[in-house]
């Protein structure tokens, strides 16, 4: 149940500190031209066509996006395509539309009425198919349940669910009535739920009794109960879907069962007429402070971008069976499991559980069983499959695949080649898509029928995306040199803000370079103009494709009574991209030993959730600081990855600290 397919912790407590990310042993210089068979059917068939479209999209965005947006269903046509006063963006001004109507009603009057919208497989093996007609009906009924429970336009609704079709139903039902959903990944803890509920002042939570993960039940409702303890919560109602059937606590007056509520409602629910800039959802993501940011997306621009990228990047066709392995709790699940594919009228496959349950071939079995044709997953999952061995996929027929995608972190060339040869049989284009929660959809990506690909690069910008790779003064850096990745023009699905925090929105994204969006990533462009993403250059880690703020983990650690101070850094990890290493100093009289290290790991899991479990706790007598008191993370990173120390240590307050740290490890 993780973001991009999560092949988290199959085993191994202690991972070798191998610098695999982007520092591949294999130098792969080949360029892969689009497969001619693919090109025949592709919407965009050549680089010339891509370039013409891209030029128009950045030079005349109003014309380009105005035309594209006409493919959506508008209740009232928009006037101006776009208004921009940095950092405030408006798209399709004055237009009215409804996301659920675009994803459902639009498809049920013609041949797609009985087409599968969602194909679902539960981890224990149940199978369900919801046609567009059926999904429409379920969404309308559940929208009425929301109304019955007091939800109105603009209200915030928390969705904390397993990967079951009802998660999509709940999201779409919110959009039908103009409520703002905020989905929380099932791997987050009660405390994380509480923080998010408080931040957005949600009045309603939709959850399930539990979900399945690697054969065990994840007690979702229990976490919700813990999150709502105390009397100061904004939550008035909790709607519970029965998934696992285990005993749960039901709080009279607050908790209601999903299936019981359905008995009171009918299946008619008109789609609310919503202004194009109506808030659609809030999704919390990690930043460089301890407090996650509630990224806000709105209706028209977001829908257009997720629709357009499914059309041009996945090049979805009516007969595709499309599978995005991301959890609905992450932005990839929002844009590429639910909204984009459904807006296209595609068939979207959803799988509830782990990739290695009951055995390591579950994904390949699913591809074979349902004849999946377009498959979108994360490099961390691909590396896990490589490690588990080729025989797992050789047992299955994967010939239905025609396009592969990756997202979440840089893909190392070995993993790319393995994906290309073993999964794609050498014939499928691979789209390595760079984007963020904030961008709403793909930003840098190959166009599969046009762009020649090179293993390890996300290649070129998508339509309307004007990328710069710049130095601190905003000057474009020369080819092959690393710089900061910025986006120079607003785009339809850009975030519209951080919920309740205008200042942080301005400061985080728009203050480094005036008028440009700073993504937090470093990158370089090669001589062909291809963009190679280096990764985060702020204090955000990318662990198995999950974004995690070092400050979040630090604040979880110092909330433990034994901890005096902590500094958290990432170190390269062969499977997960990055692992979490915590340097900790303890309070007077506390014994820093193995059992405390275990306790601290468990504490972080409890405070943030299993996604944040530290790989290593290293105790130290002191942390290396500059004379002005700043922790020297650069040194800690080098120590954590076992490198010899490089660079300037002259500002270090006490050089002895370093020697001691290099020796100390809580694991031993
Ligand atoms: C979709 C998503 C965003 C961060 C981003 C990057 C990294 C994502 C790629 C990538 C290299 C890619 N949203 N990232 N995709 N790095 N190549 N194709 O992941 O908000 O959770 O994370 O992920 O560092 O800033 S996210």
pLDDT in tens, 207-239: 999 999 999 999 999 999 999 998 789 999 999
Q: How many CB atoms lie under 10 A from the CB of residue 483?
A: 21
The pLDDT of residue 164 is 98
Q: In the structure encoding, which two tokens stand for residue 309, read together? A: 């990228």
The pLDDT of residue 381 is 92
Strands 156-160, 180-183: pairing kind: parallel
Q: State the DSSP H helix or E strand holding residue 282, giving kind and residue range, or none if neither.
A: strand 279-285
Q: What is the pTM of this model?
A: 0.90
Q: What is the 407 CA–ligand 1 centroid distance (Å)?
A: 6
pLDDT, tens digit (0-9, with 9 covering 90-100), for 512-535:
999 999 999 999 999 999 999 988
What is the average per-residue pLDDT within 77-106?
98
Distance CA 72, CA 95 (A): 11
Within the chain, all domains assigned CATH 3.30.300.30 are found at: 544-663
* pLDDT tier for residue 565 given thresholds of 50, 70 and 90: confident
Question: Has residue 342 got a pLDDT over 50?
Answer: yes
Within the chain, all domains assigned CATH 3.40.50.980 are found at: 357-432
Radius of gyration of the chain (CA): 24
pLDDT, tens digit (0-9, with 9 covering 90-100), for 268-323:
999 999 999 999 999 999 887 778 999 999 999 999 999 999 999 999 999 999 99
Atom of ligand 1 nearest to the CA of 540: 24
Q: Which residues line ligand 1 (CB under 6 A)?
A: 285, 331-332, 407-410, 432-437, 458, 519-521, 533, 535-536, 542, 547
Q: What is the 332 CA–ligand 1 centroid distance (Å)?
A: 10
Question: Has residue 663 got a pLDDT over 70?
Answer: no
What is the average per-residue pLDDT within 425-435?
98
* pLDDT tier for residue 632 given thresholds of 50, 70 and 90: confident
Q: In the structure encoding, which two tokens stand for residue 345, read together? A: 């009228």
Determine contact, residues 426/404, Cβ cutoff 8 Å: no
* pLDDT tier for residue 551 given thresholds of 50, 70 and 90: confident
Q: Does domain 544-663 have CATH number 3.40.50.410?
A: no
Best mutation site among 183, 336, 407 for ligand 1 pocket (most ligand atoms within 8 Å of CB): 407
Question: Has residue 666 got a pLDDT over 50?
Answer: no
Question: Has residue 7 got a pLDDT over 60?
Answer: no
> CATH says 357-432 is which class?
alpha beta
The pLDDT of residue 621 is 85
3-state secondary structure of 611: helix
CA dist list (Å): 656 to 619, 624, 649: 15, 9, 11
Ligand 1: residue whose CA is nearest its atom 8: 408
What is the average per-residue pLDDT within 643-651?
63
3-state secondary structure of 431: strand
Percent share of the chain, pLDDT over 70: 91
């Amino acid at each position: 149940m993780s973001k991009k397919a999560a092949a988290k912790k199959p085993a191994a407590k202690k991972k070798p500190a191998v610098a695999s990310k982007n520092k591949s042993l294999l130098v792969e210089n080949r360029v892969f031209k689009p497969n001619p068979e693919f090109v025949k059917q592709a919407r965009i068939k050549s680089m010339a066509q891509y370039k013409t479209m891209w030029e128009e999209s950045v030079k005349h965005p109003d014309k380009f996006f105005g035309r594209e947006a006409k493919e959506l269903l508008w209740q009232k046509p928009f006037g101006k395509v776009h208004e921009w006063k940095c950092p405030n963006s408006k798209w399709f001004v004055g237009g009215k539309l409804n996301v659920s109507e675009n994803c459902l009603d639009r498809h049920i009057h013609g041949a797609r009425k009985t087409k599968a919208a969602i194909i679902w497989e539960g981890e224990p093996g149940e199978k369900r198919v919801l046609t567009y007609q059926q999904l429409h009906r379920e969404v309308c009924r559940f929208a009425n349940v929301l109304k019955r429970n007091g939800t109105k336009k603009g209200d915030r609704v928390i969705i904390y669910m397993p990967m079951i079709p009802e998660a999509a139903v709940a999201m779409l039902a919110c959009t039908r009535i103009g409520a703002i959903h905020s989905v929380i990944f099932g791997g987050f803890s009660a405390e994380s739920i509480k923080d998010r509920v408080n931040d957005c002042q949600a009045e309603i939570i939709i959850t399930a009794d539990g979900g399945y993960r690697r054969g065990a039940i994840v007690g979702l409702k229990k976490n919700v109960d813990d999150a709502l303890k105390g009397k100061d919560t904004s939550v008035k109602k909790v709607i519970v879907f029965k998934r696992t059937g285990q005993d749960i606590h039901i709080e009279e007056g607050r908790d209601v069962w999903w299936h019981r509520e359905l008995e009171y409602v009918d299946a008619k629910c008109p789609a609310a007429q919503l202004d194009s800039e109506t808030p659609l959802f809030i999704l919390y993501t990690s930043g460089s402070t301890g407090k996650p940011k509630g990224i806000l997306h709105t209706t028209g621009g977001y829908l257009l971008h997720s629709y357009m990228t499914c059309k041009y990047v996945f090049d979805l066709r009516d007969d595709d069976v499309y599978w995005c392995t991301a959890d609905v709790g992450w932005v990839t699940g929002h844009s590429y499991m639910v909204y984009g594919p459904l807006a296209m009228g595609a068939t979207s496959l959803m799988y509830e559980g782990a990739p290695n349950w009951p055995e390591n071939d579950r994904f390949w079995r699913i591809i074979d069983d349902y004849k999946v044709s377009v498959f979108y997953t994360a490099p961390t999952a691909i590396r896990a499959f490589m490690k588990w061995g080729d025989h797992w996929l050789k047992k299955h027929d994967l010939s239905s695949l025609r396009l592969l995608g990756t997202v979440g972190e840089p893909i190392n060339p070995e993993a790319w080649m393995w994906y290309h040869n073993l999964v794609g049989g050498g014939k499928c284009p691979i789209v390595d898509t760079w984007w963020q929660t904030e961008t709403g959809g793909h930003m840098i990506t190959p166009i599969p029928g046009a762009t020649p690909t090179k293993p390890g690069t996300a290649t070129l910008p998508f339509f309307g995306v004007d990328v710069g790779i710049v130095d601190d003064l905003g000057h474009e850096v020369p080819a092959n040199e690393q710089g900061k990745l910025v986006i120079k023009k607003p785009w339809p699905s850009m975030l519209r803000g951080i919920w309740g925090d205008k200042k942080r929105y301005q400061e985080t994204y728009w203050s480094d370079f005036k008028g440009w969006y700073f993504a937090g990533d470093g990158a370089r462009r090669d001589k062909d103009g291809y963009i190679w993403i280096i990764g985060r250059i702020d204090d955000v880690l990318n662990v198995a494709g999950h974004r995690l703020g070092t400050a979040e983990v630090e604040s979880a650690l110092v909330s433990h009574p034994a901890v005096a101070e902590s500094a958290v850094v990432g170190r390269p990890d062969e499977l997960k991209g990055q692992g979490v290493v915590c340097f900790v100093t303890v309070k007077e009289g506390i014994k820093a030993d193995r059992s405390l290290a275990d306790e601290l790991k468990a504490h972080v899991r409890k405070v943030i959730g299993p996604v944040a479990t530290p790989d290593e706790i290293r105790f130290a007598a002191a942390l290396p600081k500059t004379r002005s008191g700043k922790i020297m993370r650069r040194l800690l990173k080098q120590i954590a990855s076992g490198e010899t120390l490089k660079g300037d240590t002259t500002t270090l307050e006490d050089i002895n600290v370093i020697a001691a740290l290099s020796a100390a490890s809580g694991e031993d």
